[in-house]
Copies of this chain bind each other. A is one copy, B any other.
Amino acid sequence: MSFAATPALAEPVADACRYVPHVADVPSAPRAIRGQLRATLSMRHAGERDVDIAWEVVGPVDAPLLIVAGGISAHRHAIASHDFPENGWWQNQSGSGLDARRFRLLSIDWLGADGSLDVAIDSADQADAIAAVLDALGVAKAAAFIGSSYGAMVGLQFAARHPQRVRRLVAISGAHRAHPYASAWRALQRQAVALGQLQCDEGQGLALARQLAMLSYRTPNEFAERFDAAPQLVHGRARVAAQDYLEHCAATWVARTSPTAFLRLSESIDLHRVDPREVRVPTTVVAIVEDRLVPLDDLFALAEGLPRGEIRVLRSKYGHDAFLTEPREIADILGKSLEDVCGDVA
């Protein structure tokens, strides 16, 4: 196993369609490094594989380490730094919920995110990839794993498989298994991509898949507020009020997404299963009442099944996307969850 810091790559600007940018109030911007690690993983469905794992670490070398993981579209660049000043995918937590002065933040690009790994990928494989990066960085034990959406699923796997490597887990809007209705919804997104691929027009299939995903991330209440206008007839066809928004956002996403990566990471959510009883790390489950993708009942079932679990319930018209769009509430939960892991790990 080897790793090496790589030069700064151009990172996409955070997607304004899903994220509410919120420039961090960081008096002195933290320093960051990036690296790429080649590791051999025993993948759950794909057997032994040599994989490349791209990582980024932000914050002081001697600070307690937080593993930070988001949805399948997230990546190693969680927040802006002196070295990589572009906004990250969780920029609005920078300096509040994710304080890179007190903590070192580690994120990876998901296995499969570059489209080069066209095999079934499991959340367990992602957890093992993160453990391999901890090895490479010489970190015996992380202070906490903060995971949202798919990142919460990976966090649960990490805690179950590597309980000695992390003190605490915060699992936001991700459960021990995918809900069957949400799985069906994602299967149809994958069908849309396949339909586009049939005609060598991957872009249109991907764009449709992304728009379907966006509906699952948001809520009717938000749409009722934003897209109340009557449909227009354009060239004799009805165009409804949300279409401009959905298509614009999908186009931004399509430009930076490989169909193979989307298919394999989407599928990975559905393959995910963890027995809550196996997650022995103290865990805060965060649930959003309005989440249409990860129902409240499933997160209560998770919290109740955890040996050392607690649950925090929020309301948000943004549903599943609340972790990206409700920065204060999320920062408050992260602050409380990290109170007791800070001092004794540093």
Contacts and interface: CB of A to CB of B under 8 A. Distances in A.
Interface of A: 45, 119-120, 179-188, 191-192, 195-196, 198-199, 201, 204-205, 208, 211-212, 215, 218-220, 223-224, 226-228, 230-231, 233, 236-243, 246, 263, 267, 270-271, 273, 295
B243 A184 contact: yes
A188 B187 CA distance: 15
Given A120-B233, A184-B240, A212-B212, 5 more contacts: A181-B223, A181-B224, A187-B238, A198-B204, A230-B273
A15 to B, nearest CB: 18
Contacts of A120: 233, 236-238
A236 B271 CA distance: 12
B204 A188 contact: no
B181 A219 contact: yes
A273 B229 CA distance: 11
Given A120-B236, A212-B212, A179 B220 contact: yes
Contacts of A187: 238-240, 242-243, 246
A238 B224 contact: no
8 contacts: A180-B228, A180-B240, A184-B211, A185-B215, A187-B242, A188-B212, A198-B201, A238-B270
Nearest to A220: B181
A105 to B, nearest CB: 31
Interface of A, secondary structure class, is helix
Contacts of A219: 181
Contact of A270 (B186, B204, B223, B240): B240
A208 B223 contact: no
Contact of A211 (B188, B220, B226, B237): B188
Given A238-B271, A242-B180, A271-B238, A188 B208 contact: yes
A322 to B, nearest CB: 17
- Which 6 residue pairs are nearest across A and B when measured between Cβ atoms? A199-B199, A181-B220, A181-B223, A184-B242, A183-B240, A180-B227
A224 B298 CA distance: 10
Given A191-B211, A198-B199, A220-B295, A180 B241 contact: yes
A271 B231 contact: yes
A223 B298 CA distance: 13
A183 B238 CA distance: 10
A30 to B, nearest CB: 38
Contacts of A236: 119-120
A270 B119 CA distance: 40
A225 to B, nearest CB: 9
Contacts of A195: 192, 195-196, 199, 201, 204-205, 208
Contacts of A226: 180
A227 B271 contact: no
Nearest to A205: B195
A290 to B, nearest CB: 12
Contact of A215 (B188, B201, B273): B188
A212 B243 CA distance: 17
